[in-house]
Amino acid sequence: MEANLFSGKTAIVTGAATGIGLAIAEYLIERGATVVVNDLDAERTEKEVRRLNDLGRGKALTCAGDASRVDFVRDMVDYAAGLAGTRLEMIVANAGLTEFGDFLDFTEESFDKVTSLNLKGTFFLTQAAARHFRDAGTGGRIVLIGSTVGNRAYPNLVAYGMSKAAIAMLAEQLTLDLSPHGITVNTVSPGATLTERTEEEEPDYAGVWAQLNPDGRVGLPRDVAAAVGFFLGPGAEHITGQQILVDGGWANYSASPFFVDTLLAAESKKADV
């Protein structure tokens, strides 16, 4: 590990008090960054910030608040840009939420919940950061968090999938607007990733996805953090508008009778043990 890779640089990571966002914050702090840790859950953010600071490398700072609110994300960028002794160079728009539901019964309330954070929050955080990078003349790196569900249809996730597809297109669109200012925007799209939330949804989440992912295991938050770190690191200076799927190959295959047979065979082998 390059302990000083991100020394002297500040990152904002949204939705970072748990799960993938927390792993990204930790990855950056282990490599010397100052990380502005945002989450809606103020108490949990405080607790994790204390733990991150105990790692003894970079620095974590709390910035609790609602990343779907335009005034809040603008203030957060101002706060991060004003920190002494370190320069705001990295943004990770990780905060996002999922609402499951049949398309034919999907409510306006659920639609607004998904789109106000996943789309509006991401769009205006990116805009606020890009304005700062342009005015400061420093360039900058922005990573958006998409999903395999933005690339492949998945049951009961229409609004979520649509929002995540739009996120990847936002990064593509911005190659024209932001490349002249030295700003890169890329998307990291996790597949099924083991977090407290996903484990609550399905207690054997790791076991189920080990069967479905061609590489034979569930995704871990640190897998996603490593891909984010690549886009933020020195090797990705000339890469923008791209998307990396971190999914163990899940989005590469189509459902087939052969695959169902393989799953059933694995199930019956488990039952025999």
Ligand X SMILES: NC(=O)c1ccc[n+]([C@@H]2O[C@H](COP(=O)([O-])OP(=O)(O)OC[C@H]3O[C@@H](n4cnc5c(N)ncnc54)[C@H](O)[C@@H]3O)[C@@H](O)[C@H]2O)c1
First to last CA, the chain: 40
Beta carbon nearer to ligand X, 19 or 241:
19
Candidates 61, 42, 7; CA nearest to 17 is 42
Judged by CB under 6 A, which of 5, 11, 13, 15 binds ligand X? 15
Joined tokens for residue 79: 């706060």
Helix (H) or strand (E) holding 35, with range, is: strand 34-37
User: Binding string to ligand X for residues 133 to 172, with x set by CB under 6 A, is what?
Assistant: ------------x-x-------------------------
**Considering only 46-54, 99-107, 188-196, 228-236, which stretch makes contact with ligand X by CB under 6 A?**
188-196
Q: Residue 271 CB, nearest distance to ligand X (Å)?
A: 27
192 binds ligand X (CB under 6 A): yes
Active-site entry in 68, 160, 163, 189: 160
**Considering only 37-45, 76-84, 107-115, 258-266, which stretch makes contact with ligand X by CB under 6 A?**
37-45
C-alpha span between 63 and 109 (Å, rounded) = 27
User: Binding string to ligand X for residues 52 to 91, with x set by CB under 6 A, is what?
Assistant: --------------xxx-----------------------
186 binds ligand X (CB under 6 A): no
Active-site entry in 147, 163, 189, 205: 147
Q: Which residues of 81-114 are buried (b: 16+ CB within 10 A; e: fewer)?
A: beeeebebbbbbbbbbbbbebeeeebeeebbebb
Q: Applying CB under 6 A, what is the total number of residues that bind ligand X? A: 28
Long-range contacts for 236-240 (Cβ within 8 Å, ≥24 apart)? 236/141, 236/184, 236/186, 237/184, 239/184, 239/186, 240/171, 240/174, 240/175, 240/178, 240/179, 240/183, 240/184, 240/185, 240/186
164 a catalytic residue: yes
Contact 229, 27 (CB under 8 A): yes
- Which DSSP state fits 53? H
**Considering only 3-11, 17-25, 232-240, 257-265, which stretch makes contact with ligand X by CB under 6 A?**
17-25
Q: What is the DSSP secondary-structure string of 206-236?
A: HHHHHHHSTTSS-B-HHHHHHHHHHHHSGGG
113 a catalytic residue: no
Residue 264 φ then ψ, to 5°: -65, -40
21 binds ligand X (CB under 6 A): yes
197 binds ligand X (CB under 6 A): yes
Judged by CB under 6 A, which of 9, 11, 12, 14 binds ligand X? 14
Beta carbon nearer to ligand X, 32 or 218:
218
User: What is the identity of the amino acid at 19?
Assistant: G
Joined tokens for residue 67: 């990343």
41 binds ligand X (CB under 6 A): yes
205 a catalytic residue: no
Question: Tokens 């930790």 sit at which residue?
Answer: 26
Contact 28, 3 (CB under 8 A): no
Judged by CB under 6 A, which of 94, 151, 184, 213 binds ligand X? 94
97 binds ligand X (CB under 6 A): yes
Contact positions toward ligand X, by CB under 6 A?
Answer: 14-15, 17-21, 38-41, 66-68, 94-98, 117, 145, 147, 190, 192-193, 195, 197-198
**Residues catalogued as catalytic:** 147, 160, 164
